[in-house]
């Protein structure tokens, strides 16, 4: 299931080259012949924009509007959706579309809204929603409202799953802050350069439920965010090359007392700048108080849903 929007230019239809040029200038997109797929590896968010059919504005004469029967024929041949602007005599082909999956964490919509507003700002199209309502203006808040309404239906559909009660959840406000930390992580890393490592926050499941975790190779100075657990890895070892037994897991409750003498900084989450000297001392203590990672199961970012959203959807009688 997906939430979809459709776009119709107010004037001349942009070319495929203009469509592609827009997305080349923006990070996290992969382009093919007629679509641009967004995937941010730090946040796990993904969605897509697509061209709905061939376009060559250089050959178009915008002063001439074909009669409706020609538009219907082109629509059928090209497989392009058409919409009516008040009458059968004013029908136009959809130029492009946007899609995002449902049953996703609420931060998917927040990140998609940023890219959608950039697209609308670049091309200023009319927006056609899934009910074929034509929107002259479509704001950030409009999208969030529509997306969240559809996403609730997507989450509600999860009730039919055999293991619906085991859907991983996390409090919505904490989930939003974690997403913001991850969304800003690359810029933050550029700010601190090679003085500190800025970890991505990932999600794991253990016997106690869903846990937000930061992974730290403890020979590296780090900006350590406040999370549920910290996963310590051996010096200079890539996480993908390690087994669960190589990982050392420390709950935040054991870390917090060790940070009392260090000043807390604040971004989306509180964090502590741990220098290499502090890291050696702290890691030495924490390793003695750690557990191995054999009970942890990693999860993808799109698996963990807002706790309040799931509760509301599952308790609904609809």
Lowest mean pLDDT among 21-35, 61-75, 98-112, 263-277: 61-75
Q: What is the pLDDT of residue 239?
A: 59
Q: Are 127 and 6 in contact (CB under 8 A)?
A: yes
Residue 74 has pLDDT above 50, yes or no: no
Mean per-residue pLDDT for 242-251? 81
What CA–CA distance (Å, rounded) separates 265 from 273?
Answer: 8
Q: Which two structure tokens, joined as six digits, stand for 289?
A: 């108080």
- The band of 241, judged by pLDDT with boundaries at 50, 70 and 90, is low
Radius of gyration of the chain (CA): 24
Cα-based angle 33, 75, 55 (whole degrees, multiple of 5): 35
* Cα distances (angstroms) measured from residue 187 to each of 20, 34, 77, 299: 25, 30, 46, 24
Q: How confident is the model at residue 165 (pLDDT cuts 50, 70, 90)?
A: confident
**Dist. CA 176–CA 250, nearest whole Å:** 23
CB of 175 closer than 8 Å to CB of 304: yes
Q: What percent of the chain has pLDDT over 90?
A: 63
Residues 78 and 53 sit within 8 Å (Cβ to Cβ): yes
Look at residue 70 in the predicted model and tell me its pLDDT.
Answer: 35
Whether domain 2-157 has CATH 3.30.1400: yes
Q: Which helix (H) or strand (E) holds 30?
A: strand 29-31
User: pTM, whole model, 2 decimals?
Assistant: 0.85
Q: Residues near 16 by Cβ (< 8 Å), separated by ≥ 6? A: 34, 51, 55
Residue 232: strand pairing partners:
216, 248
176-211 per-position pLDDT tens digit:
999 999 999 999 999 999 999 999 999 999 888 999
User: Where exactly does CATH 3.30.1400 map onto the chain?
Assistant: 2-157
Average pLDDT over residues 131-143: 93
Span 289-305, pLDDT tens digits: 888 777 889 999 999 99
- pLDDT greater than 80 at residue 160: no
């Amino acid at each position: 299931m997906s939430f979809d929007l459709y776009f119709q230019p107010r004037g001349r239809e942009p070319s495929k080259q203009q469509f592609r040029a827009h997305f080349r200038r923006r990070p996290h997109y992969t382009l093919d012949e007629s679509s641009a797929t967004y995937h941010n590896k730090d946040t796990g968010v993904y969605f897509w924009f697509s061209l709905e059919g061939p376009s060559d504005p250089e050959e178009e004469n915008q002063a001439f509007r074909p009669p409706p029967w020609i538009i219907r024929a082109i629509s059928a041949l090209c497989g392009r959706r058409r919409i009516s602007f008040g009458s059968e005599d004013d029908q136009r082909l959809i130029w492009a579309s946007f899609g995002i999956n449902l049953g996703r964490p609420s931060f998917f919509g927040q990140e998609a809204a940023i890219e959608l507003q950039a697209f609308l700002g670049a091309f200023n199209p009319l927006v056609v929603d899934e009910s074929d309502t034509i929107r002259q203006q479509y704001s950030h808040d409009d999208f969030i409202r529509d997306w969240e309404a559809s996403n609730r239906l997507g989450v509600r559909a999860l009730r039919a799953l055999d293991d619906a009660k085991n859907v991983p959840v996390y409090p919505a406000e904490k989930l939003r802050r974690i997403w913001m930390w991850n969304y800003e992580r690359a810029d933050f890393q550029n700010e601190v350069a090679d003085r500190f490592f800025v970890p991505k926050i990932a999600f794991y499941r253990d016997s106690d439920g869903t846990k937000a975790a930061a992974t730290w190779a403890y020979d590296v100075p780090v900006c350590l965010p406040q999370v549920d657990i910290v996963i310590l890895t051996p010096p200079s070892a890539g996480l993908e090359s390690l087994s669960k037994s190589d990982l050392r897991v420390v709950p935040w409750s054991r870390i917090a007392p060790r940070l009392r003498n260090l000043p807390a900084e604040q971004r989306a989450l509180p964090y502590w700048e741990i220098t290499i000297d502090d890291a050696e001392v702290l890691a030495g203590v924490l390793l003695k108080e750690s557990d191995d990672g054999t009970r942890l199961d990693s999860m993808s970012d799109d698996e963990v849903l807002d706790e309040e959203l799931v509760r509301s959807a599952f308790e609904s009688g609809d």
